[in-house]
A and B are shown apart, each in its own frame.
Chain A
């Protein structure tokens, strides 16, 4: 029996609202969306700025540093592509005013993840070619 590799859940790269984010990740850049009118960060990407109702945006590079706002340790896989990864850690990271981004926390055992811990971005290539935005505890 031929074994077929389980495909990971890929981001939808052709979704115009998110395309520049994923293109940035491919180039090892954390790209954030900013309103051209009021200059507030606009996150998650939506058609209209929540702050001023503007609908013209630019993508700017963030510094890739943040702090963990909250997290979850997943002990059960709800998709086959996560079966060999449990337990895995999801962190929600405050990266800029009004911008919280989810990603996997790397290089940390589940019992070591703490709310408030500083983390740095790390770009991880998925099977299939997409690059995900992940996080690693900030080195001292």
Chain B
């Protein structure tokens, strides 16, 4: 398959975030609109100038809700992406292609949810069942072959993947150590982020190992946060971006991928294969770059181990070698590959990966504050979700 050619034709010119909180009386839509307005202000455009809208993430809101809420009158491009946590970065690709072909001039990509106040994945009961049958594909398969046995929440599905990985590469100790390192590293990054839920709450190795086992091998501290909030970006073409007050952040490549039996992780011939296994080579080829060119990576981290697996599938190291990579190369700010410099879904907030894109833009503008990766030129963002879908974007300044 030929990778799509959008190289350097699209620019992220605006970013916006709400305050990330645990507990809000505000609707998802209101927060998404607020983040969108912030992104417009950052981009120096009026909301009415938006002519493209993509709604990634959970199937709870429609493009019409965004358009009506922002009073967008001249919408010429719209779409909804339903790849769970892979949606935001996949949507960035759609936005880039829309502005590169001239279908739209300013595309808004915005999402958010009340993952704490109303859609808690960590709860226990019938409301959770309604929620998971809404967010996962193929509810009849779920209700028949999985729910009666107690396979219910994302972390249980992904533990099936984690345990097979640990088995195939004999990583009983190494995987868990690397998972702990990742959780601790992201928590460290969150200490310098004013909009991180876990700012002020440090995490030690002792804390990690003391946290309760939820779904072996995943402990509570391997899991993303339950938070409320929204984030947004505005994408335009490279020509229009020339008048922007910001240092331009180019979308070099953005690809999505879907694994075999995309709605059924159990029947996947090789459970270690993910959407990003297919998307990453296309993205690197389109960009004319390789993993060695990446200065930092904001990797979708709904659970610690999936960050390690994505590093392997993207080619930063071989399968089974992510624990060695983390240990020897380093994923902190002083490491070879700083990962999740904002604190990620584990320690900043769970904004369906939109916050990863926002952080990558801040890094490439040189506006990431204390956590700025010095000399950052090329960054990578990924998405993961919906039982294994993947997305990847390579950005540069």
In the complex, chain B residues 124-181 whose Cβ is within 8 Å of any chain A Cβ: 124-126, 128-129, 140-141, 143-153, 156, 159-161, 163-164, 167
CB distance from B129 to the nearest CB of A (A): 7
Interfacial chain A residues near B123, Cβ < 8 Å: 78
| Interface residues of A, count at CB 8 A | 42
Interfacial chain B residues near A132, Cβ < 8 Å: 148-149
Contact, CB under 8 Å: B164 / A115: yes
Interfacial chain B residues near A102, Cβ < 8 Å: 145-146, 149, 151, 266
In Å, the complex CA distance between A102 and B156 comes to 12
- Tell yes or no: A71 within 8 A of B by CB: yes
Contact, CB under 8 Å: A69 / B213: no
Interfacial chain A residues near B264, Cβ < 8 Å: 44
Please name the residue on chain B nearest to A104 by beta carbon.
B149
Contact, CB under 8 Å: B267 / A74: no
Interfacial chain A residues near B125, Cβ < 8 Å: 79-80
Interfacial chain B residues near A10, Cβ < 8 Å: 148
Interfacial chain A residues near B143, Cβ < 8 Å: 9, 11-12, 15
Interfacial chain B residues near A73, Cβ < 8 Å: 215-216
Contact, CB under 8 Å: A71 / B150: no
Interfacial chain B residues near A11, Cβ < 8 Å: 143-145, 148
Interfacial chain A residues near B159, Cβ < 8 Å: 72
Which of A17, A70, A83, A85 has a CB less than 8 Å from the CB of B271?
A: A70
Q: A12-B143, A70-B167 are in contact. Are A80 and B124 (CB under 8 A)?
A: yes
Binary CB contact string for chain A from 40 to 75 against chain B (1 if under 8 A, 0 otherwise): 000110000000000000000000000001111111
In Å, the complex CA distance between A19 and B312 comes to 40
Please name the residue on chain A nearest to B123 by beta carbon.
A78
Interfacial chain B residues near A123, Cβ < 8 Å: none
In the complex, chain B residues 251-277 whose Cβ is within 8 Å of any chain A Cβ: 264, 266-267, 271
Sampled A-B contacts (26; CB under 8 Å): A9-B129, A9-B150, A12-B140, A18-B145, A43-B267, A71-B163, A72-B151, A72-B156, A73-B215, A73-B216, A74-B215, A75-B213, A76-B215, A78-B124, A78-B156, A79-B124, A79-B128, A79-B147, A79-B150, A83-B124, A85-B150, A90-B156, A102-B151, A110-B216, A115-B163, A115-B164
Chain A interface (Cβ < 8 Å from any Cβ of B): 8-12, 15, 17-18, 21-22, 43-44, 69-80, 82-83, 85, 88, 90, 92, 98, 100-104, 110, 115, 126, 130, 132, 134
Chain B interface (Cβ < 8 Å from any Cβ of A): 123-126, 128-129, 140-141, 143-153, 156, 159-161, 163-164, 167, 212-216, 264, 266-267, 271
Please give me the 7 A-B residue pairs with the lowest Cβ-Cβ distance, nearest first.
A70-B164, A73-B216, A72-B159, A18-B144, A115-B167, A9-B147, A78-B152
